[in-house]
Chains A and B, each alone.
Chain A
Amino acid sequence: MQGKGCLFVKNSMFQQTLPTSLQNSLVTKHFSLTSVASSNAVVEFFRARNFRAKRGPFRPEEKRGDHKMMASTHWKIERVLAVSMLGVMPACLFVQGPIMDTLLSITVLLHGFWGVDGVLTDYLEKFVPWIHYPWYLLTIAGLAGLIYFNYNDVGVCEAIKMVWKL
């Protein structure tokens, strides 16, 4: 093992001092070499359909996808947006109008998009690799809806006021 550039060894130094039969039995006690079926129906449902998660390790290029921006830069932009929302949210209580409508729509949609995108990347992408596309579509549809709403209808600030007056 040592001369092949292998970084992971099977047994610890202590375990290697034990007799071979004991070393082998230590390994087989923990793991079974045949398929182990669990009694959990949900787990078995997914296992039967080979619904495997790709559990990594993930190279940075794999997680980044097609774009070239560094992850830390994206993170910084997310925080800048979040800090800006700290100001926008209370402001919409005092100042309404078409500018505030646009500001609210864009910040909420962008923040929500990146947030859910993060959740998908963390948990769902390993099971369903194409999950980002439906979310992207929903966000675009939402943006279209909000632009229409702010232009042709009362606008989000007025709409919230109307709902609250109910």
Chain B
Amino acid sequence: MAAMIRASFGKGSALLTSNAALLSRLQPVVVTQLSHTSTRSQTEDIAYKEMEEFWDKNRRLNRPLSPHLRIYNPELTSMLSLCHRATGIAMAVTVPFVAATLLGLPGDFSSYIEYIKDLHLNPAILTAAKYVLAFPICYHYINGIRHLAWDWAIGFDLKTTYQSGYFVMALALLVTAGFVHLL
């Protein structure tokens, strides 16, 4: 029994918890476990504690952080990923914001369309606005397909990533132009 306990500590607590009922009926066993972790092994707890102490020491000594964003050149991979995130956040914030605003504002949607029509804006401004509206959704959708492919571990090597990256950017611009001018 003692050998089983010693063995289970090395392999994590799966053996320990499965034999807990059996163990509790035998001689009293001293098992030191922190109260909030019933399944994590002692080694992981020690590791977490050491890591926390490491970061406390970093804060105490006011150690500087290694440069990260400043030192890397903008690459296609990182810039496209940033674009994906930026367009996603822009759309995700704008949609609820506009919807909530329309809920609070008086009048229905048609009156606001009429208001914009009465401004008699330069068609170029309206076209530019349509580009601004269409590009995030087109780019995010097409790059989203690329992301989903990665989630299935397809096209992960650097060459394919670069090729698909160029393709996605070109296609997104093309589809945006198509939406603006053809629809």
Q: Tell me the A residues contacting B by CB distance below 8 Å.
A: 5-8, 31-33, 35-36, 38, 52, 55-57, 59, 61, 79, 82-83, 85-86, 89, 108-109, 111-113, 115-116, 119, 138-139, 141-146, 148-149, 152-154, 159, 162-164, 166
Contact = CB atoms under 8 A, between A and B. Distances in A.
Contact of B64 (A38, A139, A162): A38
Contacts of B103: 141, 144-145, 148-149
A55 B55 CA distance: 7
A42 B37 CA distance: 39
- 3 smallest beta-carbon distances between A and B, as pairs: A142-B96, A112-B92, A145-B99
Interface stretch (B1-9, B23-31, B73-81, B105-113): B105-113
Contacts of A32: 61-62
Given A38-B64, A153-B108, A166-B117, A112 B95 contact: yes
Determine which residue in B55, B109, B151 has the highest number of CB atoms from chain A within 10 A of its CB, and name it: B109
Contacts of A7: 46-47, 50
A142 B100 contact: yes
A65 to B, nearest CB: 15
Contact of A138 (B96, B108, B183): B96
Given A56-B55, A57-B51, A57-B52, A149 B61 contact: no
Given A52-B59, A89-B141, A145 B46 contact: no
Nearest to A142: B96
Given A82-B148, A149-B109, A162-B110, A119 B85 contact: yes
B156 interface: no
Contacts of A162: 109-110, 113
Contact of B100 (A31, A82, A119, A141): A141
Given A31-B63, A56-B55, A162-B113, A139 B96 contact: yes
Contacts of B54: 8
28 contacts: A5-B46, A6-B50, A31-B63, A35-B62, A36-B62, A52-B59, A59-B48, A61-B36, A79-B151, A113-B92, A115-B88, A119-B85, A139-B96, A141-B96, A141-B100, A141-B103, A142-B95, A142-B100, A144-B99, A145-B103, A146-B96, A146-B99, A149-B99, A149-B102, A149-B109, A153-B102, A153-B108, A166-B113
Contacts, number: 114
Interface string B141-154: 10011001001000
A32 B148 CA distance: 46
A28 B141 CA distance: 51
